[in-house]
Each structure stands twice: as structure tokens, then as C-alpha cells.
A and B are shown apart, each in its own frame.
Chain A
Amino acid sequence: MAAVMRLVNRSTLSSVMGQHYAAFSSSAKLTAAGVNAGHTLPDKVKIVEVGPRDGLQNEKTIVPTEAKINLIDMLSESGLPVIEATSFVSPKWVPQMADQVEVMKGISRKPGVSYPVLTPNLKGFQAAVKAGAAEVAIFGAASELFSKKNINCSVDESLQRFDEVMKAAKEAGVPVRGYVSCVVGCPYEGKVAPEKVAHVAKRLYSMGCYEISLGDTIGVGTPGSITAMLEAVSKEVPVSALAVHCHDTYGQALANILVALQMGISVIDSSVAGLGGCPYAQGASGNVATEDVVYMLHGLGIQTGVDLSKLMDAGAFICRTLNRKTSSKVAQATCKL
């Protein structure tokens, strides 16, 4: 390794969001001949497509059920292994997801593809299973204020609710995915301590979630804060059970995903055409676009199983339906040529 090394005296890693990445000694820097860049990347990455759920739930236009079903069917054809189909939250809170049962019953399930749905509580879980759900997801927050404002209870209370869901899911043999939102920043609290994220992630994992998706809900994370957060979480949850769910509000999503990959993460959430965000986080917009993620992964030689042009077709379809432009740069560039 042709590395030129000078003094590096690693001091304490600051966990302050958005500020110092690593307080390395200012007297030197390390040039590591590309040993990190691309050296330990996974061969395969699983993309969890959240467009039909996280994407659409933040679109103001209510999308007809037929269009949702068509979108999911097109996404199924593109090779995506996981497509989050809908959410069994109360339609009072998320009107876009009011047709949850019709969507679940209407989609053509491709063999080998999972169609998880969000279930905030036992009632939602029961309704989901009745509608044919074979996998569910629950979501906690790393921020108390966000939890209260988003799902009307504290983090601990939400975890208790999820306990009920977990028990029922275990009995029914239904796998559960756990989300942690606000993993680097909260629109109400500001900075979020990595230890808090690790605590919530560990709880969900110990309760029985097979995978924990760490969400940068308002997109404020950078490779600095994302790394600090992942370092803390990976002490409590095996890296093979972690996923990242990056929002591109500040344009940082792909850079954040890259560092996550370098840390061994091999599950990435994204949303076709970069749809959506969170209606409860002011100013938040835009999941990272699946097309842009796939472009990067394929450029890195990482397999995803996804056919990019079919994916773009699905993106073009939903944008036409919503009468909006795609947020995917790859889709924009491809249309121009």
C-alpha cells in the first residue's frame, strides 16, 4: 500500500450533528491511496423501494388506487426485491393511504418480491394481515419531540405499542422491519445523539425486527454525522441487519449512502423518482431517487438485480400521474438525450 502517513492522533469522535466529523489532530493528515474508496464495498445491495408508501404519502395529490397498483406492478417488473406497498395507519392522519386494503388486494405479487406494509399498532397489524400482508414494518423515532408530534406518544410508549405488534407478528410468522426516524437530526429537537439512535435501534432489534432502517428524515446528515451515527448503532446491532433511508433535502443522500456502504451496510431504501418525504417534518422533501442510487451502485460494480430502464418507466408513469417532474437526476438526464 503506497500510503504516506504522518501523525494522526485520533481524538474523541464528536457526535454533534452536522458539525465536526472527526476531531483528528490538526497537525497532520493521512493520504491512504484509495484504501477506503471502494475497498470494502458489498458485492450486492438490496434496494428497498419505498416510493408507493413513503413517496406517495407526502404527495398532496391523492393518487387513484388503480395508479398505485399499476406503479407497484411496474416496480415489481423492474427487479426490485422489496417494495413497500402501503401503510395501515389511520386514513385520518394519512389520507393518501386510505385505500390500503384495495392496494394490497389489487397488486400482482411477483414471486420472490416482498411487499411490506407499515403498521403503527396492533389494530393496523391485524387489518394488514387480513388484507394479505406477509411482512410489516414499525417505526420508532430517535427524537422524543418527533415521536410525540408524528405518532402522538413518547418513544418508550411507541416501543410498547410495537411490542404488541411484534408478539402478534411472531405468532403469525410475519417478519417485521423496524424504522428509526430522525437518526441524525430532528426538525424540532435539532441534533440527535448517536447513542439515542443506537438505543432505539437495539430495542427494535431485540424485540425481533429482522432489519433496522435508519432514516435521515429531514436529510440534514452528511458523511460526517452519518458515519458517527452508524458507528454507534453498529455496536448494538449487527451491520448486516442495518439499512439506511436517506432523504436528499440537502443533496447529501448519495454521499451518505456511499459512506454507509463503506461501513458494510448493504440495504438501501429509496423512492422511485425521488417521491415524497414526511408530512410531519416541516421543510422535509424528497427521498433519494431509486434511479440515482441504482446508477451509482451499478457504476460501482455492485449488483442490485434492478433493470434501470424499467425502473425509469415506472418513475415516468407516476410523475405523469402526479403531473410533476421527476426528482431523479438520472431520469432527467436520460430524457434530455
Chain B
Amino acid sequence: MFEITCPGASHAKVTADFSVFTILTSGISPFYPEFVKIVEVGPRDGLQNEKEIVPTGVKIQLIDMLSGTGLSVIEATSFVSSKWVPQMADHTDVLRGIQRAPHVRYPVLTPNLQGFQDAVAAGATEVAVFGSASETFSKKNINCSIDESMLRFEEVINTAKERQIPVRGYVSCALGCPHEGDIKPSTVAKVAKRLYEMGCYEISLADTIGVGTPGSMLKMLQGVKKEVPINALAVHCHDTYGQALPNILTALQMGVCVVDSAVAGLGGCPYAQGSSGNVSTEDVLYMLHGMGIETGVNLPKVIEAGYFICNALCRNTNSKVAQAKSRTL
């Protein structure tokens, strides 16, 4: 037996069983967070890459169903120009139409000050900005360099601060870019740090084209956590190469406890050719619950919401859990 003094809990001395160190050094039985917050991005990141324009009423119903599942964060819509993302043209109607559950937050994407102001006018109480770790992707996706985008976001963040509206930051192409290929962890770290220091409360690191593996996820997180505290980090994995769940597992082993996912595995990025499929919320929940990690989310209700939106889109779910459950029903 030995004692460890915790820097983070100086009011208590703690003791740890020797077996803990044995386990640690042998690499067996990694420790995981007890609770993981799921950020549901289906209504935004999911739907924005579905070719079929989903009626406003359906979007609202989807969000309302998700609000009843126990999810605490549901990204509702995006205040980008409808010229670029027609699916999100009804952003104001959606935000005004949803029934906000008391324990749930409904962030919206805001690429610039104009979008932010529209979002607030429509009732938004939390927003998100998205930078990129790749210059080429930034130029192709939002028509400006990374530095220029940061200036735009600074405007948004400063204005949001005045109005006490929390801002979440995204870094896309964190594990690879469709144009540039490999992205250095130090570049991701730099962008993440910038967003964090400007005032984003959380930084979501996105594997936009799903090329990451536990190998590259580990290296990227090792780089980023030098600059941003681990509890302010989230991972946003795409399942394009089937790697999302092992990547998320790796992130959990590194101490990340916020995971983005999309009901039914909807969507991708319209600006990254070939990319498809956020990881599905159902499959993430199945894994987390199987590991004894709490999420507060009711999996059967998420599956139901998934079936609803897939019916509306006339498409099959991408969630393996939902597929398996429907086969055994």
C-alpha cells in the first residue's frame, strides 16, 4: 500500500492499492472515465450531409425525440449561409420550433458574426465555431485561411462573451485532410490552443474523413493535451474506415470524456469528398454501457429516434446496433 497526494484534490490524501500500479505498468485493464458526455450532432452534422432536404417539421420532431432520450447536448442546426448548406436554411424555424427540455442544451454552428447574431435572435443560448487544422480544407470549406477564420471566430467569441453565451470550438481534419493528407499533431494542437485561449469552453477534435486509427488518435491527443486540458477536449470521429469506435476507445484511455456522435450514423461533410458517416450514437452507447461507463442516455429511445429519421429519409440506418436490434425484434 502506498499514499499519493493528489494535486487536484489537496484536501484529501488518497491511498491506492499496489495492484493499480501493477495493472498500469502491464498495460492491462485501462482506466476509463466513469461518465461520458455525448454530444449529439445528428440534426446538424448528420442532416447537413443528407442529399434529401428534410422538412422542418421532421427536423423538429427528430430533435424533440432526442430531447427525451437523456442526451444533454443536441446540436440543433447551423447558421451558415443557406447558399452553402441548403439543408440548414430553416435554422431559425427549427430553433424556434423545438421543445427545449430543461436539462438539454442546443448549440448551433455560427461561422461568423452575422450567423451569431441571427442565432441569438432566433433564441440560441450556445454556439459553436469550427476551425480547421488544414489550410487547404479551410480555404475550400469556408473560403479563408486558418488565421483569417480565427479572426472571424474571435469576433464571435468576444460578442458571445458579452452576452454570456458559451462557445464550443471544433478543429476539423484533426487526423487527416482530403487535400493535404497527414496532419501534424502540433498543427492540431496550435489551432486547438488558439480556440481555447480565445474562450471556447470545449474543443472538439474531428476526424473529418475518418482516416484516423488508434495510432494517429493517440499521437494527436498527446500533442493537443500539452496545450489544452484533457477535460476540455472532445473527439468527433467519422466511421468512414470503420475506425471510429477503437479511436473513441483510445481517446477514453487518454482521459477524454466527451464524445460526439450522430443518431443512426447520419451524415459526413459535404466538402470532404468520399467522407461519409459520423459514428452512430447507438453504437457508441452500446460500447460505453458495456464498459460500465454512464452516459445518462436511454439507448432504446435513441434507436427509436434513429428509425424515425431513417424512415423520413427513406434510408437504412448506419448503426450496427440498430440493425441488429431490428433483426431480432
Contact = CB atoms under 8 A, between A and B. Distances in A.
Contact of A21 (B242, B291, B327): B291
B291 A329 contact: no
Contact of B290 (A224, A248, A295): A224
A292 B287 contact: no
Interface in B171-224: 210, 212-216, 218, 221-222
Interface in A230-259: 231, 248-252, 254-255, 257-259
A227 interface: yes
B207 to A, nearest CB: 12
Interface string B315-328: 00001110010011
A285 B326 CA distance: 13
B245 A282 contact: no
A7 B16 contact: yes
B226 to A, nearest CB: 10
A4 B7 contact: yes
Interface residues of B, number: 65
A222 B29 contact: no
Given A10-B20, A330-B242, A333-B274, A21 B28 contact: no
Contacts, number: 194
B249 A259 contact: yes
Contact of A299 (B15, B213, B289): B213
B296 interface: no
A20 B286 contact: no
A18 interface: yes
Contact of B245 (A28, A32, A255): A255
A40 interface: yes
Nearest to B17: A10
Nearest to B248: A255
A223 B249 contact: yes
A329 B240 contact: yes
Interface in B7-31: 7-9, 12, 14-17, 19-20, 23-31
Interface string B16-57: 110110011111111111100000000000000000000000
Interface in B251-277: 253-255, 273-274, 276
A222 B291 contact: yes
Given A10-B19, A329-B239, A300 B213 contact: yes
B324 A31 contact: no
B122 to A, nearest CB: 35
Contacts of B324: 219, 249-250, 283
B7 A19 contact: no
A221 B245 CA distance: 13
B6 interface: yes
Given A10-B19, A295-B241, A252 B286 contact: yes
Contact of A7 (B15, B239, B241): B15
A69 B204 CA distance: 48
Nearest to A26: B34
Nearest to A39: B27
Given A4-B8, A254-B242, A258-B246, A19 B16 contact: no
Contacts of B6: 4-6
Contacts of A5: 4, 6, 14, 16, 20
Contact of A222 (B20, B210, B253, B286): B286
> Which residue, A9, A32, A250, A301, has most C-beta atoms of chain B within 10 A?
A250
Contacts of A262: 27-28, 30
B280 interface: yes
A262 B249 CA distance: 12
Given A6-B6, A250-B283, A283-B324, A330 B221 contact: no
Given A222-B286, A222-B287, A250-B320, A38 B214 contact: yes
Interface in A83-134: none
A29 B252 CA distance: 12
Contact of B292 (A19, A252, A255): A19
A267 to B, nearest CB: 18
Given A39-B27, A223-B249, A250 B241 contact: no
Contact of A250 (B26, B255, B286): B286
B281 to A, nearest CB: 11
Contacts of B213: 295-296, 298-300
Interface in B92-115: none
A57 interface: no
Contact of B287 (A3, A33, A252): A252
Given A4-B7, A6-B9, A301 B240 contact: no
A23 B7 CA distance: 25
B218 A8 contact: no
A309 to B, nearest CB: 14
B298 to A, nearest CB: 16
B14 A329 contact: no
Given A4-B6, A295-B243, A337-B274, A38 B319 contact: no
19 contacts: A7-B15, A19-B290, A31-B255, A32-B30, A32-B253, A33-B254, A37-B253, A219-B324, A221-B290, A222-B286, A223-B290, A223-B291, A252-B245, A252-B286, A255-B249, A259-B249, A299-B214, A333-B274, A336-B274
Interface of B: 4, 6-9, 12, 14-17, 19-20, 23-34, 210, 212-216, 218, 221-222, 230, 239-243, 245-246, 248-250, 253-255, 273-274, 276, 280, 283, 286-287, 289-293, 319-321, 324, 327-328
Interface of A: 3-10, 14, 18-24, 26, 28-40, 219, 221-225, 227, 231, 248-252, 254-255, 257-259, 262-263, 282-283, 285, 289, 292, 295-296, 298-301, 328-330, 333, 336-337
